Amino acid sequence: MRIVVGITGGIAAYKAVNVVRAFVLAGHDVQVIATEAALRFVGRPTLEAISRNPVHSELYEGVAEVRHVALGQHADLIVIAPATANTLAKLAQGLADDLLGNTVLASTAPLVVAPAMHTEMWQHPATVANVATLRERGVTVIGPAAGQLTGTDSGPGRMSEPDDIVHAALAALGPRDLVGQHVLVTAGGTREPLDPVRFLGNRSSGKQGVAIARAAAARGAEVTLIAAHTDPGVLEGAVGGVEVVRVETARELGEAAHRAAESASVVVMAAAVADYRPEAVSELKIKKETQGETLELRLVKNADILRELVEARRPGQLIIGFAAETETDRDALIELGRRKAERKGTDFLVVNAVGWSEGFSQDDNAILVLDSTGSIVEEASGSKASVAHRILDLTR
């Protein structure tokens, strides 16, 4: 999604860096609009490095492309954090004397504001009236929290924590069709130890599974995320509302999945689980000096966790499996998926092609979904965040 993060001139502007970072890590395209006052608190290079885009601040920049209108027109979501008392007043009056004000007025996207100011300013009748006006217009107001403010002051007015802002902002954007549902998601790649320092693993980054967990939480679900190994940073950011259970091996993942599935209404098995594990694990490091020119490993098959969950499913429980295949021919890929769907007995099977340079560790994904009869019921491509929502649409 295309998200505009507006940063205004309060001391809490330093926390906005983590708001931007969380959106980026969740796979969204983030454009930062920083007011002149905001750039006195946090530097442009920092915001550009974290957002991976140029920072916009001047109303008369990019006139040829009508940037003061285009940013708002193209936005799927606008988040202002921190939103100062002055910013709230300007928004309530519909003023557009800077780039941020123009962007808000030129957009039909949901607007989310995270106020931050001293307690007296937050409780002033003018601010109270301005916030009430914004809420009446459908603006989502997150916080503020009560706590330590600038200096020795303490009280309501502290900007909400970045994870809470991101979680609430994404919830304001999407449907709340999973309220009351418990969704179990697995993500990442398992690691099967050979000795205390080595393991058999795979190249799964965990990005798609984590994106599904975040999307489910944004849609109102209670989410349990069983995470095997994930790439650095994948679990950071927008994981508010998600219970994370860390595991290493296929056995650990299976045990955790069976426990969580007992109360889950939806199960999404996106983890890359090792098919085999070493028959024996050495208590000491395996050394080449004692092994000679070759090393033989005997592997034994791991349990089929997905099939076990299907066999133990509760009435009404929806189970979605994943199939990552290196087949490059589309027809052959579909046939592989159909055979796997039949073996596993899932309600839906998400099939995606992987290889040396696709699927794993990428920010984008392309999938097709088969139902229990082997029919293609969905195809989607794009950011893993957008693909996650397409997968969750299957639960309707």
Q: Which residues are catalytic?
A: 202
Q: How far is CA 301 from CA 167, 270, 298, 308, 337, in A?
A: 39, 19, 10, 14, 21
Q: What is the DSSP letter of 303?
A: P
Q: How far apart are CA 160 and CA 169, in angstroms?
A: 12
Bridge-based pairing of strands 364-371 and 145-148 is unpaired
Q: In what order do the strands lie in the sheet with 242-246?
A: 242-246, 222-227, 182-187, 266-269, 318-325, 348-353, 364-371, 376-383
In single-letter form, the type of residue at position 191 comes to R
Q: How far apart are CA 396 and CA 394, in angstroms?
A: 6
Cα–Cα nearest to 186, from 135, 245, 235, 249 = 245
Q: What is the DSSP letter of 312?
A: T
Q: How far apart are CA 292 and CA 287, in angstroms?
A: 9
Burial of 305 (0-12, 13-18, 19+ CB in 10 A): buried
Count helices and strands in the chain by DSSP H and E runs: 14, 19
